[in-house]
Structures are given as C-alpha cells and as structure tokens.
Structure 1
Amino acid sequence: MELPDPDEEVRAVEDDAGASPAVPADQPFYTIGQVAQLLDVPAAQLRRLDALEIVQPDRTEGNQRRYSAREIERLREVITLGEEGVTLPGVRKILELRRRVGELEDQLSRQADELADARRDAGLGARGEAGAAAPGAGHEG
C-alpha cells in the first residue's frame, strides 16, 4: 500500500484541521507503519506513546492500531515537544492543559452566544442598554 504524498497530508492537516478530501480528520485510517514512515519515527516510539496513553489510536477488530489525521497532528506536537526537551510527563501535562483551554474556550463561546440571545430577547443593546437608540436620538436642540 502506497502512502499519500507526505507534503499533501501535511497541507491537508494544516489547512483544514486534519481533514483531507478522501479521509475525514477523525476517521482512523492510517496504520502504525504508515504513520511511522510519515513522521520518520520508529513504530516502537508510537507504541510507547500509546502505552503511556499520550496518543491512543483506535484499534481494528484484529487489534491493529489505526490513526486519524488528528492523531497524526497530535503526534507531530508530541515529537516537536520532545525535540525541544520536554519530558513525556511534561508533554502529557501540556496536552491536558491545551485540551482544557479548548473546553473553556468552547464554554465561553456558548455563554457569550446565550448572553447575546438573552439581550436580544429582552430588547437590550450590545451593552445591555434598553432601546439602543441611534447616537443623538432623543435629544432636541
């Protein structure tokens, strides 16, 4: 089985959060051998990251690992952090903090949307002012 052009895969992952036209970003598709070749790392390193629960790919019915494009991007992050001298426990903490920040950003966005909806329903302007009139309106001279 021939690997897709690594440059095209990188572009697809970077340009569209891991989605490529043929394979959705979250679909487990790539074998451990393909990922090892794509990232230029030994398959044993990928197995270790799986065993340490840093990047855990899905498994087939035959118990073979299958990686999604998102997991490949996460592996790139892990490898880069390791090359910068971050230990595996440090990598795990960084990834957990990034995940938590993402959750908080999503929560904040939902709350901002709910607040905007509530203000609109109450007839309030963006700053919570009733009957948000145009500048200068209501002033007679």
Structure 2
Amino acid sequence: MDENSPLFAIAVAAELAGMHPQTLRQYDRLGLVSPTRTAGQSRRYSMRDVVQLREIAQLSSEGLNLEGIRRILELENEVTGLRERVRTLEAALADEMLARPGRRVFAAGSEGEVVSLRAGTRTQKANQLVVWRPLRRG
C-alpha cells in the first residue's frame, strides 16, 4: 500500500480533509482532485488526494480562487513528474557510463567548441603570450 492507493470513501476523505463531502464532489467536477472510481462509480480517495484537499483548503484560506488553485496544483504535478523523469534519466546515464569502458568526456575549448577527450586526459592549455601596445596618436 502506498500514498496513491485508493482507500477512502468520500465521507472518510471529507472528514480527514476537514471538508464537507459536497465540497469534494465539487472539486472533483472542477478537476482539482480526481479520485479513483470503483466499478459502481463510487469515489475512492488516496492519502495523496487527502493531502491535496488539505492544500486546496490552505490555499483557499489564503485568498486564492479555485482557478488559481487549479493552476498551482497543475504546475506542482508537472514539477513532480519532471523530477521523476530526471531521476530516471540520471539513473540510466549512470548505468550507461558504468557499462562502457573507455568512455569519453567532453569539455569546452578556448573558442567555446565542444572537445571530446578520453577519460583521464586533460585539455591542452594554450601557452601564448599576447603583447598589447597602445597606438600612438600623432
């Protein structure tokens, strides 16, 4: 069982969130919280849904309207999804780097270009001296 498991009937979820069941129905219609439905179309709320209902109540008490709250929740859910995607990609990259012997490293060259290096090597440093003399005006 995890935080997304649909456990609570609407009356229990409303009590846990400190709201009236009719408020939960309204939030469902508006898309603020989308509980899972049973075969008989009863709503089942997860602990994550209850936490989200409490967050809606908090934002509402701070003066935000329901459209503003909907947008905030949408962005928070997007950020959560993107964080999960980054974790997945980081793990895949780490696995790939460990699986490839002789892997390459990339660095920026003096002109900003990408330079490919073998692992354990460094870029060549320029040892040039530039002399500047101001122009003499007549």
TM-score computed with the length of structure 1 as normaliser:
0.65
Q: C-alpha root-mean-square deviation of aligned residues, in Å?
A: 2.5
Aligned ranges 1:21-100 → 2 under 5 Å: 23-100=1-78
Distance 2:54 2:68 in 1: 15
User: What is the percentage of aligned positions where both structures have the same residue?
Assistant: 33
Whichever of the two has the greater Rg, that structure is 2
What number of residue pairs does the alignment pair up? Answer: 111
Alignment gaps of 5+ in structure 1: 1-22, 134-141
AA at the equivalent of 1:123: G
TM-score computed with the length of structure 2 as normaliser:
0.67
Select the structure that is richer in strand. Answer: 2
Distance 1:27 1:87 in 2: 29
AA at the equivalent of 1:79: A
More deviation, 45-54/97-106: 97-106
Q: Summarize deviations over 1:26-51 as a string: whole Å, max 9, x none.
A: 22121111112222211111110011
Select the structure that is richer in helix. Answer: 1
* SS across alignment from 1:89: helix
